[in-house]
Every structure is written in C-alpha cells, then in structure tokens.
Amino acid sequence: MKKDYRNYLQTTPDAEGNFGDYGGSFVPPELIGPMKEIHEAYLKISRSHRFIEELRSIQKHYQGRPTPVYHAARLSEKCGGAQIYLKREDLNHTGAHKLNHCMGEGLLAKYMGKKKLIAETGAGQHGVALATAAAYFGLECEIHMGEVDIAKEHPNVVRMKLLGAEIVSVSHGLKTLKEAVDSAFQAYLADPVNSIYCIGSVVGPHPFPMMVRDFQHVVGKEAREQFLEMTGNLPDLVTACVGGGSNSIGLFSAFLNDPCEIWGVEPLGRGPEPGNHAASITYGKPGILHGFRCYLLQDENGDPSPVYSIASGLDYPGVGPEHSHLKDEGRVQYTSADDKECLDAFFALCRTEGIIPALESAHAVAFAMKKAVEMKHGTLLVNLSGRGDKDLDFVVDHYGYGK
C-alpha cells in the first residue's frame, strides 16, 4: 500500500530531528544549549501570526514572490517529447532560491533579538544571500571563507562587502569550505547570546534541516498551485538538482502526496570514479558529517571523500537527511547528470528560451531534457534554482559559446 504523506510535514522530522534513520544532532556538548535555544525559538516564533505575516510581506514586496512557472515550449519542442515547465527561482531577488531561507533565518534572528548573523560560504552564494538578509534586517553579518575560495570567488566577495558583511579569511588546513565551517561555528560559540549561526542548505544538526525545508517549502507550494492553474493538472514528474538539497526539498515537499514521480539530480562531474563527482546518494553510504547522519561519500575510514562538480554549489560530500530518508522510502528517486550533460543543457536553455541558468540548475534541466524524450507525452516541472550570471566567465573561458 502507498504511504500517506498528508501529515508528513507536521510529523517529520520527529522531536529529535530524525528523518527515519537520518538527521539527528551529533554536536559537541557546548553546542547542545545553543541548538536547543534556536529550536525552541523557531517552534514558537515561526508559528506566530506576526512572523508568518511579516515573512509573507517580505516575500512579496522585497523578494518578488511568487516567482513564475513558465512553459518552456521551444526547449520542449527541441527535445521532442513531454512538455517542460520551469519554476523560475532564478527570478527571486539575488538570483537564486537561497534567499528564501536566508530571509527566514534573518527574520527569526530579529525576533530572537540577535545582533549578528554568522555563516561560512564556499563559492559565496550562501554568503551573498545571507549578507542581503542582514542588510535588510539591519543586522551585522560575519562570513567565514577559506583563503582559496576568497581568491577564486572574487565577484561574490565584492558583493558581500558591498552589502556590509565582514569577511573572515580562514587560512588553515585546505583553506576551503570545511575549515570555514569549523571557523564559523567557533565564532558563533564565542558569543551565542548576541549572534546566530545560519546554515546554507537542509544540512547540519537539528533543527536546521527542518527549518530550511520549511522556509523553502514556499517554492513547491507556489509551483503546485501555479501549475494546476495553468494546465488544470498536476505535473507527471517534478525534478530539481541536489547539492545539500534545499531547492529540491522546497519543490518536492509540496508533491509528496500526489501521484507524481519525483526525481533528484546529483552531480556526476567527470564520472563515477571516487573524487570525480559529488553524487552522495547514488554512490555514498550512511555516515555522519557536520553534526547529522546522511548518505555520505566516504573513504574506508569513514572520512568524507574529496568531491568535484562543475557547479560549485553542488560539490558537497553529504546530502540532507530528508533526502536520505526519502531515498530509502522510495518516494523520491535519485539520478545524476555529468558536467557534459550539464553544459549541453546550459547552452540549450540559453538558445531556445533566452534563459541563462546557473550550472547547478542546468543539471536538473539536463535530466528533464533526457526524460522528456523518454516519456514522449505528459509534463515535467523543473526547479530552475538560480541564474547563471555567476558562471558566465567560467563557461565562456573554458567552453566558448556552445554550438
């Protein structure tokens, strides 16, 4: 018998943050108190009428929500099968879905009386979204970033500084994301009364995977209503790219109880050999990373493996606990697209529709293009998680202008 997902969002995760066998909270003793404070504040504040109304107003007047659902008729025609629709998160203010949870986290911080938002960033996308939220709420913002990433991601560093954030350069170890996470947590622990840590995806210890999912749920809720209104039906298939898993869970969470196929698309990079991809669910096995249990790409000692993807927003060795759970339940299916398929989809969407997607989002478009041919009829809804402005120089320098 099919599982009933009607009350799923209210009952999952459980009170300890478990999504089936995944999630939970594996943190050092000194973090237990601060995590509990955030959890309790979230449960109380996020259900208050004032909070809900203020967030709704921000989404409408500042972020530009609802973002449209768009029928990509020429892309569909080029593929020659099912009809492809795009949820345009690239039109959300700052150009990607990440602002959805950053505005939620920022508003929560304001209601909790915090003065400073602290986070790490890898490629800089989370840092930019959080710095935007901090500017909006008049809060201080401290972004921890590896020295290597600071050199690589110059435009995002400039954006964060313009938005008023302070960049803390992390110069130990490999000087990238992992060290930046540790550094951000240390800064937060030094002053948990005045500051709050804001995570960048549906990862980390409880309550973050739940909070970020709830803030991203607006994507799926809007898209489901819009799609019904446009076509009179639900999509036959919904899909999104999966890094940590926030844009995808935002979309998927609204369709769990519907008769739609749901597919998450992981980055296969240069191929399936270890170190060449970041397809955590496809090739990983359960393990613990950054305070939670999930499918994890790991070596024989259980240490996270090095990962790679052409899309820097997707190269994370773990994945959200909820995706790990939905994979085991069989409700969501996971597949992957490699760098080449991603680039082909990137150029195809530019040329057929006049939309330049983020390389992350192009992974989902690549899968949809392949699946549309296979399905022949029906409809697919893709979350276009972000716009590609940030990727232009990289793509053109390495691959030119496409065919």
Which residue's CB is nearer to ligand PLP, number 167 or number 202? 202
Which residue's CB is nearer to ligand PLP, number 81 or number 200? 200
Least Å from the CB of residue 369 to ligand PLP: 17
**Residues 223, 67: Cα–Cα separation, whole Å:** 9
Q: Which residues contact 235 (CB under 8 A, 6 or more apart)?
A: 85, 227, 255, 260, 379, 380, 381
- Can you give the binding site for ligand PLP, defined by CB under 6 A? 96, 98, 125, 201, 241-248, 313-314, 358, 360-361, 385-386
**Residues 48, 324: Cα–Cα separation, whole Å:** 30
Which residue's CB is nearer to ligand PLP, number 196 or number 199? 199
Is position 153 annotated as part of the catalytic site? no
Active-site position among 114, 353, 385, 390: 385
Q: How many residues does the chain have?
A: 403
Which residue's CB is nearer to ligand PLP, number 72 or number 375? 72
Least Å from the CB of residue 301 to ligand PLP: 26
Which residue's CB is nearer to ligand PLP, number 81 or number 386? 386
Q: Are 148 and 175 in contact (CB under 8 A)?
A: yes
Sign of CA pseudo-dihedral 14, 212, 147, 192: negative
Least Å from the CB of residue 125 to ligand PLP: 4
Is position 385 annotated as part of the catalytic site? yes
Q: Are 274 and 261 in contact (CB under 8 A)?
A: no
**Residues 118, 144: Cα–Cα separation, whole Å:** 8
Residue type at 336?
Answer: S
Least Å from the CB of residue 30 to ligand PLP: 27
Active-site position among 89, 105, 120, 360: 120
Least Å from the CB of residue 382 to ligand PLP: 12
**What are the tokens at 273?**
């050999």
**Residues 109, 112: Cα–Cα separation, whole Å:** 5
For residue 66, is the peptide bond before it cis, meaning its omega torsion is within 30 degrees of 0?
yes
Which residue's CB is nearer to ligand PLP, number 355 or number 375? 355
Neighbours of 197 (CB within 10 A): 23
Least Å from the CB of residue 245 to ligand PLP: 5
Place of tokens 């509990």: 36
| Gyration radius (Cα) of the chain, Å | 20
Least Å from the CB of residue 208 to ligand PLP: 12
Neighbours of 398 (CB within 10 A): 9
Place of tokens 């490999």: 174
Sign of CA pseudo-dihedral 228, 232, 236, 240: negative
Pairing of strands 292-296, 285-289: antiparallel
Which residue's CB is nearer to ligand PLP, number 23 or number 245? 245
Number of residue whose CB is nearest ligand PLP: 386
Active-site position among 76, 87, 89, 98: 98
Residues tagged active-site: 98, 120, 385
